[in-house]
Chain A
């Protein structure tokens, strides 16, 4: 394979990535001169917005391989756009949240930008090297973001836990890559499907899947999730739950569906078993939780179990289904974490059921947002979760994955129970003594309203999003 010399078109195609990286550097520079929280936020948001709009410019160049490492195609642009929007939302939530904290607030944003860059690199990477680089950029930012509130014991413990386990999973990934390379002689995703599925190749692929499973928190690699979700500051939790997991889904879609699917049977089982276990374990363990953030953690384990069903379905439907489901999941999860963020107080986060008791009668708008988000996660009509679940069932029926479908249905039924538990608490009697409610920062309030409208709108009229997703193609 030969590569052209780099041309201006390459830079245009990579514009969104370059702008995000530049924004991170710029924000770092500015904050070493002027430590102003509002200014840093505005710069961050401008950087993310500029990157987002440069996607439209980059769209004129696709499909364009840039070197061996990147494949700028419709798929990469769509996922990068999603990641940028999510990062934009997380930054907004983080502002209101950090305003109430006694720490140095400003470093959060360059870390956020770097993590976003890593996730975007993952969405466009077409080579083991870019995969690894993107993943590490993302993970290193996450270590710090999780442990950001150093004065509290929870975040530091969670950050350490994530550091150790993510380090171990990176080792798996590297070793897996080495084995695959040794067996097939290629590091390009697009050539994997043509490789001979020798035992060494499959072992390598399996080790890479371990790393992916860790990032996605699939059972049995899920043990870090509840602790990290609970310990991390809520905006960082939202980042892990949406951006980090979404980027990993993008990588997996590219690995498996670039240039023909990898159809070796052991790979099928390596995906099916964790999917099955995640759907059941995630939902069952969520039943035992008394903490809203831990419930969201276990629910996300289950949701990525559902999502893996899409991978096992047919090629075209797989990318479409996974992407649609992911968008719905991200909107709902972000809204849920947003409410947690907004309700959190200076000393501790709003994670106990008591913090939500009677919320509907105290703060009806916030309770409506959280109810919509939870109903969406449960897949109830009028919310985006419903067409998402329908997509999964349609893909599963199309591929006749009956066992997984029954696990999905069973999981959804169990899932209802704990989502409704939170909703019931919100609609219960408010406690007699209510602490004075903190005002919600208007940026976060607007964002929550927008997210709610998005969930409802996509639930009622999903066709435009479906058409958009159907147009994106890996490699085109």
Chain B
């Protein structure tokens, strides 16, 4: 029963926040923090049940929940958690708590509604990470869209309506293609075996023709690639990020994009191994294009949020590259990248949010020389930029290095190109710091430095990033059995 509660608690917490929000906004925030902390404690309690250290343990789902839902179509509420999902759930709750804390001052109006949406996005994301039923996957997939749409569309900046609409329609079209593929996959399975089911474990290894497999794989791929976002489906991301409130950006970059990565890892390749292998060169090429193109566009931006958004496109190119390289090293790198990018980019968005709150602008042409005014902000910004460029000693380095090392065995040419992306990353990260914190303070900014709340938020992220940079083994151990199992599924 612990798994439904993981999803249910944020749902209930959101409703509580809605009720409290109108008259007692502070109580609403505290309630949300409390609920998320309880949820995090629940997830951590699962860690102690997990058989990670034990050599004999398989990579199966060590906690499962199953209840019939729509037996007419063989749909059940089937949830399961393995090391990979557990890591993702922990990341979700950690970033969730941080984004509540980060919006403590930014959101003053409609507090209850804001937290309702925030919590429901978290519930949807956790649902995607836990589901073992494809209908349920689509259910959660769509479920996180609507509150995210409201987060951007109601609480965002000037062009929020446009950005929210673009976000919604891109993901929805991808999602509908995925729905079609899900139903077609279940139908193919029903034709082959006579039972109609949407259960992930049952659908693994469904026999189907070559063309069918390729088409269905592409349907899933587009659904997840839009969310990732992979080139050329990425154009919604900069707009959504620019207009979203800080917490919205954190959730988008930190979590929603990870659902795309998770989907590729958990669903696309294992469900259609042969088709994915045939498609791998194309997907890896898209990944490399994303890495380079995202980095170049990031370099050309003047808006800080667009800047960070394009670096996300670049970093998630590594995920695409790693998933389709499909060997142990690359997959470990993908998992590390999902976590580290979530943390570092989330923190960058919080820093940008804090900066925007103080200066009222995110325009790099107007910023500059802020180090003198706000040294703590400058120092933390430098560390996060270093994380983004993949400096050794921070988790992001481990992640991208592992992906490159894994991908090199499969596609050396593409991997070399991808490695150039690291050089670009160094350039744009340094330029970012240079243009924001160094140089002349042309506009004479005098701003408040980071307060205690913000220091704790950003500091905790940096501690985790450094810890992962020097000692990534717990993460690799946790994900190891799950990845081994996925590999064995694909190997047949």
Binding site for B on A (CB under 8 A): 361, 375, 380-382, 386-387, 390, 393-394, 397-398, 405, 409, 412-413, 416-417, 420, 424, 427-428, 461-463, 466-467, 470
Contact = CB atoms under 8 A, between A and B. Distances in A.
Interface stretch (B36-44, B177-185, B231-239, B356-364): B177-185
Contact of B176 (A381, A382, A413, A467): A413
Interface in B149-182: 149-150, 153-154, 161, 164-165, 168-169, 172-173, 176-177, 179-180
A427 B154 contact: yes
A359 to B, nearest CB: 13
Given A387-B70, A409-B177, A463-B71, A416 B187 contact: no
A427 B177 contact: no
B144 to A, nearest CB: 10
Given A409-B177, A409-B179, A409-B180, 10 more contacts: A390-B135, A393-B183, A397-B187, A398-B187, A412-B172, A413-B173, A420-B149, A427-B150, A461-B69, A462-B70
Contacts, number: 67
B168 A463 contact: no
Contacts of A424: 153, 161, 164-165
Interface of B: 69-73, 110, 135, 138-140, 142-143, 145-146, 149-150, 153-154, 161, 164-165, 168-169, 172-173, 176-177, 179-180, 183-184, 187
Nearest to A466: B72
A412 B146 CA distance: 15
A317 B61 CA distance: 35
Nearest to B145: A380
Nearest to B68: A463
A381 B142 contact: yes
Contact of B172 (A382, A394, A416): A416
Contacts of A397: 180, 183-184, 187
Contacts of A416: 168-169, 172
B183 A380 contact: no
B70 A420 contact: no
Contacts of B169: 413, 416-417
B9 to A, nearest CB: 17
A420 B187 contact: no
Given A386-B142, A397-B184, A466-B70, A420 B165 contact: yes
B139 A381 contact: yes
A463 B70 contact: yes
A361 B110 CA distance: 9
Which A-B residue pairs are the 10 nearest by beta carbons?
A409-B176, A381-B142, A397-B183, A466-B72, A381-B139, A413-B173, A397-B187, A393-B183, A427-B154, A463-B70
A382 B11 CA distance: 13
A381 B120 CA distance: 13
A393 to B, nearest CB: 5
18 contacts: A361-B110, A380-B146, A386-B139, A390-B73, A393-B179, A394-B183, A394-B187, A397-B180, A409-B173, A413-B172, A416-B169, A417-B165, A420-B149, A420-B165, A424-B153, A424-B165, A427-B153, A463-B70
A246 B142 CA distance: 28
Contacts of A393: 179-180, 183
A420 B168 contact: yes
A418 to B, nearest CB: 11
Contact of B142 (A361, A380, A461, A462): A380
B426 to A, nearest CB: 40
Most buried by A among B138, B165, B183: B183
B153 A463 contact: no
Nearest to B187: A397
Contacts of B177: 409
A428 B110 CA distance: 12
B73 A412 contact: no
A470 B176 contact: no
Contacts of A417: 165, 169
A200 to B, nearest CB: 39
Contacts of B73: 390, 394
A240 B189 CA distance: 41
Contacts of A394: 73, 183, 187
A394 B190 CA distance: 12
A390 B72 CA distance: 12
A9 B104 CA distance: 70
A427 B145 CA distance: 16
Contacts of B138: 381
Contacts of B69: 461, 463
Contacts of A382: 143
Nearest to B136: A381
A446 to B, nearest CB: 21
B211 to A, nearest CB: 13
A427 B152 CA distance: 12
Nearest to B71: A463
Contacts of A412: 172, 176
Contacts of A461: 69
A357 B211 CA distance: 49
Contacts of B161: 424, 428
A426 B357 CA distance: 27
Contacts of B184: 397
A66 B399 CA distance: 75
Contacts of A462: 70
Nearest to A424: B161
A370 B210 CA distance: 45
Contacts of A390: 73, 135, 179, 183
Nearest to B191: A398
A44 B179 CA distance: 44
B47 to A, nearest CB: 30
Contacts of A387: 70
Contacts of A361: 110
A450 B145 CA distance: 25
A409 B153 CA distance: 24
A412 B140 CA distance: 18
Contacts of B140: 381
A377 to B, nearest CB: 14
A393 B184 CA distance: 9
A178 to B, nearest CB: 42
Nearest to B170: A413
Nearest to A394: B183
A470 B150 contact: no
A398 B191 CA distance: 10
Contacts of A420: 149, 165, 168
B15 to A, nearest CB: 13
A381 B180 contact: no
Contacts of A463: 69-72
Nearest to B138: A381
Nearest to B182: A393
A417 B165 CA distance: 7
Contacts of B172: 412-413, 416
A337 B71 CA distance: 33
Contacts of A405: 180
Among A375, A397, A463, the one with the most B-chain Cβ atoms within 10 Å of its Cβ is A397
B348 to A, nearest CB: 28
Contacts of B150: 427
A257 to B, nearest CB: 19
Contacts of B71: 463
A393 B179 CA distance: 8
A394 B72 CA distance: 12
A53 to B, nearest CB: 28
A416 B187 CA distance: 27
A470 B70 CA distance: 13
Contacts of A466: 70, 72
Contacts of B173: 409, 413
A383 B184 CA distance: 23
A339 B24 CA distance: 30
A405 B176 CA distance: 10
B176 to A, nearest CB: 4
Contact of A381 (B143, B149, B164, B165): B143
A99 to B, nearest CB: 31
